[in-house]
Structure 1
């Protein structure tokens, strides 16, 4: 729909004919439909068929606790100047928690200055090879991205792992907010979107029951593309994109909420 920053519009290329057009959210503000350039996103869990997006407001019944307000990180252009390009925030920690309570922490010090883009247009989460390899080793996964485009794990991972915890702001030890992503949101049967075409043979796997994993890694991250937290993460987070004030609001999703209490972005009255 084009509800991000103007800089990332498809028409804004490096040509003489480049131009910026009024996005749908700017048009809503200009027409007086909403008071500020902000919206909130609620995807709900993997089993639900619907979610919601609210322009100019948020639904306080769709998350737990308080919304942490995280500053959006501006991007650096080729000429060295800075501008807001993507809704990126600092991820300060990533931990895997077993059902028995054991914690495995990935690249703590490396992560404290780790910008990630909260992108609902991406199905999966894509991180860089340093963190990706640590995760792959911890879950005994097999990277088959060159052939099937998937990372394979044993389906029994669902029985041993509880959550992947993503920390934001502050430090890994004292983050501003931690989003806990249940393993059920990250391990998928090889059906539907993750079905393997009949003409492709699975690689040799060290387990019998293969599933797909919702966190991938790419050598192009972050050299060419920023790390992305896609839908496999965003289902577990209620996110408010406040483009007016360059802030991201984030809290743990209240899955399957059937109530509604809509208010303005960060308390504004629309």
Structure 2
């Protein structure tokens, strides 16, 4: 039986219309001073470009992934931080007012909090007001003097463990903005509008911009930065793909030095407090048929690597080993039936002590937010104290962290974190150690406020896992990372990850102990299901046509 040409053309058109992933490739740079971060001293990044994919040019400051967007008919270029801990896109107005942030902002950012998690109204009233008070910790005058020196080095400009992720591409550029927080130039030198140094948007020059007649935009983050402005929608170009009528905010006043592209859950959108959510970028990509699922996978690569990636609408099976296990996100609030944050249950944290025995330092199952906007990680006081003791560390009130032996930077020990009761990610202790001086090191796991209902895992933990964020089904899939340049990409269809269903525990995070409801799953092995590239499908159709005609 022959296929007629119309039917064949229809098949080809369908194949061409099939959704494909787009990949964010980023280069990683680290430095202790402005000179170290100069683009002249860095090697050119290596990009992998494929048909049907979308490359987003990124820069990461501490653990922020910076994408370049072109907004409106005037295509104003804006570089914004990609953040899983918030859900709104906002950019700078061309004539905005830069204001100073509280002094604590500088400390929070230097300690890796970054933009981090967007705070809701309730949490803004419960901001941390006291430092950790560990038991059995006594400092001599000599130790205090030493701690003050470490404190100044850590909190000062150019902290030794700042992480900068940079990518270059057509039209991309590299800039650096020190966290000074002066009037007239937020987080930069005074007297200049440095909070627009990463770009701004002039609404009056765009013929396609439409302002919403809604509540004003207002947001505050865990690092005390904030922004206020208006809502609207316009066309946004990401590489060669145009997202039509994307909703975003334009800040008229901010204490931040860069806008934010929040790609978290809709429940964390600023508008949710008024009973309304909208399609942020991941959801709009799906609605417009650019990807089939509001899903993206994160590969940070090793601590000393020069490249990593975020892949939207697909999974790279080469980037993990063993099984990819899916864990249901936890309900954030008991009165809301769906998750608001990307938060998953952690059932156990095993660490090897000095005696060689392994101990679970987590008292009960606790929710953890997986946040690309945080360099470091934050746990509760009992867990932090147990971890510090297991590593023979001593807590310093002045520094606000555990001081540990620098030999741990070369240790083969791991901290084993179990998610959902059946998936363990091994985190090298060496990734958790930060050099704070020639012979002084600190533990890169900090205190989470007792008023919080969740722990927070940042870059130094997340880099040990390959993570797939599924916003449609409120799921996170995790596997032990495999550091490699190889690729084996599967485009995820509307049905989700094949052969992998939810596993783990769902509960309200108002209590650290999870509920008992669970769901079972089969495990998805690395590389077991690989989608055929589009060119293979088209080639097959053409061959069939030649044979049948």
The TM-score range, normalised by the shorter chain, is 0.7 to 0.9
Q: How far apart are the structure 1 equivalents of 2:398 and 2:280? A: 38
How many residues align? The count is: 237
Report the alpha carbon displacement of residue 122 of structure 1 after superposing the two structures with TM: 1.2
Number of the residue aligned with 2:467: 239
User: Which region of structure 1 is more displaced relative to structure 2, 147-156 or 38-47?
Assistant: 147-156
Residue 36 of structure 1: aligned partner: 293
**Residue pairs, 1:115-126, within 5 angstroms:** 115-126=367-378
The separation in 2 between residues aligned to 1:104 and 1:153, in whole angstroms, is 19
In 2: Cα distance, 1:88 partner to 1:45 partner: 23
Worse-superposed segment, 38-47 or 132-141: 132-141
SS in 1 for 2:383: helix
Matched, 1:74 2:331: yes
Displacement, 1:103? 3.5
Secondary structure at the residue paired with 2:306? coil
Residue correspondence of structure 1 range 158-173 to structure 2 within 5 A = 158-159=409-410, 162-170=413-421
Q: In structure 2, what is the equivalent of residue 135 of structure 1?
A: 387
Shift of 1:167: 1.0
Which of 204, 208, 211 is the equivalent residue of 2:441?
A: 211
8 Å CA contact retained: 2:366, 2:454: no
How many angstroms apart in 2 are the aligned matches of 1:34 and 1:149? 43
Matches within 5 A, 1:66-105: 66-76=323-333, 80-97=335-352, 102-105=356-359
- Within a 5 Å distance, the mapping from 1:168-247 to structure 2 comes to 168-170=419-421, 176-190=422-436, 209-218=439-448, 220-221=449-450, 223-247=451-475
- Mapped contact 1:98–1:161 kept (Cα < 8 A): no
CA deviation after TM superposition for structure 1 residue 98, in Å: 6.5
Query: Scaled by the length of structure 2, what TM-score is found?
Result: 0.41
Per the normalisation by structure 1, the TM-score is: 0.79
| 1:7 is aligned to 2:267 | yes
> What is residue 52 of structure 1 aligned with on the other side?
309
Structure whose alpha-carbon radius of gyration is higher: 2
Distance 1:98 1:130 in 2: 16
Conserved in 1, the CA contact under 8 Å of 2:353 and 2:359?
Answer: no
The higher relative CO (CA closer than 8 Å, separation ≥ 6) is in 1
Q: Tell me which protein shows more helix as a share of its residues.
A: 2
The whole-number CA distance in structure 1 between the counterparts of 2:354 and 2:409 is 9
Structure 2's unaligned 5+ residue stretches are 1-260, 499-528, 535-549
Q: Deviations over 1:194-218 (max 9, x none)?
A: xxxxxxxxxxxxxx93112121223
Indicate which of 403, 408, 415 corresponds to 1:152. 403
Deviations 1:13-38 (A, max 9, x none): 4xx6x753421101111111000111
Cα deviations across residues 184-235 of structure 1 (Å, max 9, x unaligned)?
A: 21112127xxxxxxxxxxxxxxxx93112121223x14x3352011111100
Distance across 2 between alignment mates of 1:10 and 1:81:
16
Structural RMSD (CA): 2.5
Alignment partner for residue 491 of structure 2, among 240, 252, 264? 264
